[in-house]
Structure 1
Amino acid sequence: MTFDALPFPSLTPAFDVTVDLAPPEVHGATSAGFRRVVPIMGGRISGSIDADLLPGGADWQLVRADGTIEVDARYSARTADGDLLLLHASGLRTGTPDVLDCLARGEDVDPHDYTFRTVVRIETASRKLDALQRSLFLASAERQANAVRYRAHRVG
């Protein structure tokens, strides 16, 4: 069997997320690198999942020497039926130094001018949403002054 015979993954739009953010907490240079923690204040999921993001999560960012940010966000959501979801988004945000500086200042930047991608995994105890735990989602995101918005695609 050749590698060309392996199935090619497909992407199906699944849901959209808006994450409302507090200002970053700059921890500075730690043993792991330059660390920032961005508290999550709330937000919304819409599409194949409809839920409100709960305050209390955060994005534990590691800022590389070249300005690339390693994203490690974990947050919870609750559906209208009361089902709880735990979302874990990990990925990278990178671009040219001038674009990254604009984003750091909270300026609006066209999301086509930088790369912001995450892999999203979902955990839940809900039987009716259990299929989410067996799916992997790839998201394309944009950073706004006080929010992150992304569209997640189910990887098939």
Structure 2
Amino acid sequence: MAGATQAVAASPPPALAHVFDLAVEVGPAQELGEVGGGRRRVIPITGGSLAGPGLSGEVLPGGADWQTIRPDGVTLLQARYTVRMSDGATIGIINTGVRRADADVVRRLTAGEDVDPALYYFRATPIFEVGPGPYLWLTESVFVSAGARRPRRVELGVFKVA
């Protein structure tokens, strides 16, 4: 077991490098009601954009964010959507995460208010589905995102874990 401790100690700590930003436009929530574990909502994804150094694309309509709001107010997020890059390539994104805040902030976010992102925690781990080509590197690393929920869109900064 001593060897495992030495290996962990010798590994450099993870660092983050900003890769791109997403502005994901959303429609009105579809309330499904109480399900096992909380209240289920489906948020349709209607469009948006991806922008970063040397990267640009359009978020296509047709995706959705399936949310479960637990009794403790924590929201579990699972979004799935597609981006068409400026060169015509398509990238599938599966973004699973957590948003949490105190009860008043949760109420305001659920009501569609614009709330200062410093008042809540919103993190996710995107996974990318791509074909062979210039975006294959997205399948070779771990990524995390930090988010902000706006009244008609979600803003995500996406970072590569080095």
TM over 0.5: yes
Contact 2:65 2:80 in 1 (8 A): yes
- TM-score of the two chains, using structure 2 as the length reference: 0.92
User: Shift of the alpha carbon at 1:106?
Assistant: 1.4
Say whether residues 1:129 and 2:129 are aligned partners. no
- The answer for the alignment partner of 1:90 in structure 2 is 96
Identity across aligned pairs (percent)?
37
Structure 1 residues without counterparts, runs of 5 or longer: none
Contact 2:22 2:156 in 1 (8 A): yes
- How many pairs were matched up? 156
Structure 2 residues without counterparts, runs of 5 or longer: none
Distance in 1 of aligned mates of 2:37 and 2:104: 25
- TM-score of the two chains, using structure 1 as the length reference: 0.95
Kindly provide the CA deviation profile for residues 11-58 of structure 1, in whole angstroms up to 9, marking residues without a partner as x: 000000000000110001124532111000010000043110000000
Distance in 2 of aligned mates of 1:80 and 1:120: 20
**Counterpart residue type for residue 139 of structure 1:** S
Say whether residues 1:58 and 2:64 are aligned partners. yes
- The answer for the alignment partner of 1:105 in structure 2 is 111
User: Shift of the alpha carbon at 1:126?
Assistant: 3.9
- The answer for the alignment partner of 2:15 in structure 1 is 10
Distance in 2 of aligned mates of 1:30 and 1:100: 19
Distance in 2 of aligned mates of 1:134 and 1:56: 26
Say whether residues 1:19 and 2:21 are aligned partners. no
CA RMSD, 1 decimal: 1.2
Kindly provide the CA deviation profile for residues 96-129 of structure 1, in whole angstroms up to 9, marking residues without a partner as x: 0011111111111111111000111111114111
Higher mean Cα deviation, 93-102 or 120-129?
Answer: 120-129
**Counterpart residue type for residue 42 of structure 1:** G
Q: Would you identify which runs of 4 or more consecutive aligned residues in structure 1 move more than 6 Å?
A: none
